[in-house]
Amino acid sequence: MDIISELKAIVGEGHVLTDDKDTAGYLVDWTNRFHGRVLAVVRPATTDEVSRVMKLAYETQTPVVPQSGNTSLVGGGTPDASGRAILLSLSRMNKIEAVDAVNDTMTVEAGVVLEKAQEAARESGRFFPLSFAAQGTACLGGCLATNAGGTAVLRYGNTRDLVLGIEAVLSDGTVVDMLRGLRKDNTGYDLKHLFMASEGTLGVITRAVVKIFPAPQASYTALVGVEDVTKACELLAAVKSAAGPALTGFELMQAKCIERVGKEIPAVTLPGDVSSAPWWCLVELSYSRDPGSNPLEGILEQAFEAGTVADAFLANSVKDSKAFWAIRESIPSADAHVGGNLHNDVSLEISDIPAFVEEALAALEARFAWVDPSVFGHLGDGNLHFNIGSIPPNLAFENEEGIRETVYAVVSAHNGSISAEHGIGQLKRAHFLALKNPVELELMGRIKKALDPKGILNPGKLLADRA
Ligand SMILES: Cc1cc2nc3c(=O)[nH]c(=O)nc-3n(C[C@H](O)[C@H](O)[C@H](O)COP(=O)(O)OP(=O)(O)OC[C@H]3O[C@@H](n4cnc5c(N)ncnc54)[C@H](O)[C@@H]3O)c2cc1C
């Protein structure tokens, strides 16, 4: 069977790409670490076309790699080097089908770019809270398939918490229609959740119903300096007690990360000298009705009196607030300017984070005297980007295995996770297989076998391939 001709018959000649110049952009990941080859890049426009492509792949035992925005930081959407796979790009399935401001839901195709979904909600006087630095490129299908996190998880949850229904296509082409906007549905197993964080290994997500919310009318932001991570956790607890659900962001950054942004990213302005404290928290409160005066003033005053806080900058305008967030979001770029670092994306119970940071830094420094860690992340979610650079820069990458082993050993000792929001992909697969509870791995393998009996969906990612 001539697979290429069959694919062209399904999606149209112009949407089966085989020339290197057309496929190149799909075959390398965002970090430029993973490169692959394919039989073809196929760009279906409808669920029916996805289903027919999958049926063909199933019959011919052809591997299929689903890809949406290709912003994975773990090589999740990059094919292997065999050149046997079809790369299934969802980019043409980019329609926002409905925004229902009464049910507070939005129905989208998998290839809708996250920023477009946010805009569509805004135009209807609503708010779609999923937000992170790659939102201009990442798509809803990819966000669901990785259970993406981002900056609003503290208040609204991960992508999993924002999804009410999905439509997915299984490896044999079967369309599973679970596209419902119900907030309550206890009719058996909630199968849609199998596809969240499945990284394209169980099925192709084609459409989703996601939750939208009344847009916040006022938000208040501050950059707050603290002596150590324990104080940062105390501040988090104090703000939670005082502000309750109004707390929408609580990020942690080392002062040196902020200083590096100030030096390396000219477009970002710092609010002042941050050398007065070694750690800084970015705190954001949001309200559906403007409380009139800034609630952070009183909360921080009390925290100063209690000795929790060492210094603070309050945003006096939306512009200031955006500038504070720009600092946080520019840390990875600033790190990349000075030679880059090994990305870690770990999660722990929040109460374990001070001990984790202390122990992991000590273990790294004991083994590698030259480490230059860049520690920041979503403290409110118990998620740190515990990134490791080096002086000189190349040493961190040359010692990647040893560094990951050291960090993950401390994560495991605290019963944490080696992937909070970026997924496993290719990058963390060996560690995932070594560290995950064997009983959970066995159950995952059984689910994979039931949904993808021929093992054609995204082989080489997440789970071990079957012999
Ligand atoms: C600068 C930057 C910042 C980032 N910040 C964050 C952050 O704060 N939080 C966070 O969670 N992530 C973050 N990421 C990681 C990344 O953006 C997310 O993982 C995102 O959800 C991936 O979406 P995508 O559309 O690019 O998916 P892709 O990269 O195309 O795919 C990701 C995975 O999902 C699978 N997949 C894609 N589409 C489908 C589909 N329709 N059906 C089934 N499987 C599919 C792929 O096979 C792959 O395994 C960041 C990335 C960058 C580059």
Q: For residue range 227-274, what is the model confidence (pLDDT) as tens digits?
A: 999 999 999 999 999 999 999 999 999 999 999 999 999 999 999 999
CA of 28 to the centre of ligand 1 (A): 14
Q: What is the pLDDT of residues 298-352, one digit of tens each?
A: 999 999 999 999 999 999 999 999 999 999 999 999 998 988 789 999 999 999 9
pLDDT at 277 over 60: yes
Is 113 a pocket residue for ligand 1 (Cβ < 6 Å)?
no
pLDDT tens-digit readout, 17-53: 999 999 999 999 998 999 999 999 999 999 999 999 9
The predicted pLDDT at position 341 comes to 85
Give me the pLDDT at residue 466, please.
64
Q: Ligand 1 atom 20: the closest Cα is on which residue? A: 143
pTM for this predicted structure: 0.94
Q: Output the pLDDT for position 316.
A: 93
| pLDDT band at 464; cut points 50, 70, 90 | confident
Share of the chain above pLDDT 70, in %: 100
pLDDT digits (tens, 9 = 90+) for 379-400: 999 999 999 999 888 899 999 9
Q: Do domains 96-214 and 218-337 have the same CATH topology?
A: no
Contact indicator for 306, 238 with CB cutoff of 8 Å? yes
- Does ligand 1 come within 6 angstroms of the Cβ of 111? no
pLDDT of residue 340: 75
**Quick one: pLDDT at residue 107?**
98
Taking a C-beta distance cutoff of 8 angstroms, is the pair 425, 75 a contact? yes
How does pLDDT run across 87-111, given as a tens digit for each residue? 999 999 999 999 999 999 999 999 9
Ligand 1 site, residue 76, Cβ cutoff 6 A: yes
**Structure confidence at residue 31 (pLDDT):** 87
Give yes or no for a contact between 383 and 419, defined as CB atoms under 8 angstroms apart: no
Return the H-helix or E-strand segment holding 227: none
Q: Does 169 contact ligand 1 (Cβ within 6 A)?
A: no
How far apart CA 360 and CA 347 sit, in angstroms, is 13
- The fold adopted by the segment(s) 3-89 is 3.30.43
Residues constituting the chain? 467
200 close to ligand 1 (CB < 6 Angstrom): yes
Q: Which CATH number fits domain 96-214: 3.30.465.10, 3.40.430.10, 3.30.10.20, 3.30.70.250?
A: 3.30.465.10
Across the range 155-172, mean pLDDT stands at: 98
417: DSSP letter: B
- Ligand 1 within 6 A of CB of 196: no
C-alpha distances (whole Å) from 251 to each of 248, 265, 382, 435 are 10, 19, 10, 27
Q: In this structure, what token pair is assigned to residue 381? A: 């979610």
Name which CATH class applies to 218-337. Answer: alpha beta
| Substitution site in 71, 118, 422 for ligand 1 pocket (most atoms within 8 Å of beta carbon) | 71
pLDDT for 393: 86
pLDDT range class, residue 200, cuts 50, 70, 90: very high
Domain residue limits, the chain: 3-89, 96-214, 218-337
160 pLDDT more than 80: yes
